[in-house]
Amino acid sequence: MAARWIELVTGPLEQKRQYKQAKARLDALPEPYRAVADAFNRYLMYYGGVTDGDVIVQMFLDLADFWERAALDGTPVRQVVGDDPVEFAENFAQAYGGKRWIDKERARLVDAVDAAEKERS
C-alpha cells in the first residue's frame, strides 16, 4: 500500500532502480570514459527534458551500453564524440521520443497567440 502511494508521488520504483543500475555502470567505467560519461549524464538530465520515465531509463541504459562498448574497444573519447560534444549529446537525446517538458510550454505559447488573435478579431 505504501509503495503504491510513494510511486504515485515519485514515479515507478522500478524505473529508479534501473536508473541507479545504469549510473553504477557509468561509475564503474575506467577513466577517461567515466568522466565523460558523467558529463553526458548530467547534460542529458538538463537537456533531454523527457518526462516519460520509461524513455529516460532507456536513454540512460543505452548511454551506459554505449560508453561500456567504447571503453571495451579502447576507442578514444574524442573519436567517439567528434569535434562538438554538445551536438553529439543533443543528437543522442533526439533519438529518444517521448513527451518533453518543453512540449507543454510550446502548447501554451501557441494557445496564447491563438487567444490573442481571437480577441483582436
| pLDDT value, residue 21 | 95
- 10 pLDDT band, cuts 50/70/90, is low
Mean predicted lDDT score pLDDT of the chain: 86
Task: Provide the number of structural domains found in the chain.
Answer: 1
Integer angstrom CA distances of residue 61 from 8, 15, 30, 32, 37: 23, 11, 17, 19, 12
What's the pLDDT tens digit per position in 19-72? Answer: 899 999 999 999 999 999 999 999 988 886 776 778 888 999 999 999 999 999
Task: For residues 49 and 61, give the distance between their C-alpha atoms in angstroms, rounded to a whole number.
Answer: 16
CATH code at position 115: 1.10.1900.10
| pLDDT value, residue 8 | 56
Owning domain of residue 42 = 2-120
| pLDDT value, residue 4 | 66
What cell numbers appear for 49 in the block? 527534458
| pLDDT value, residue 2 | 62
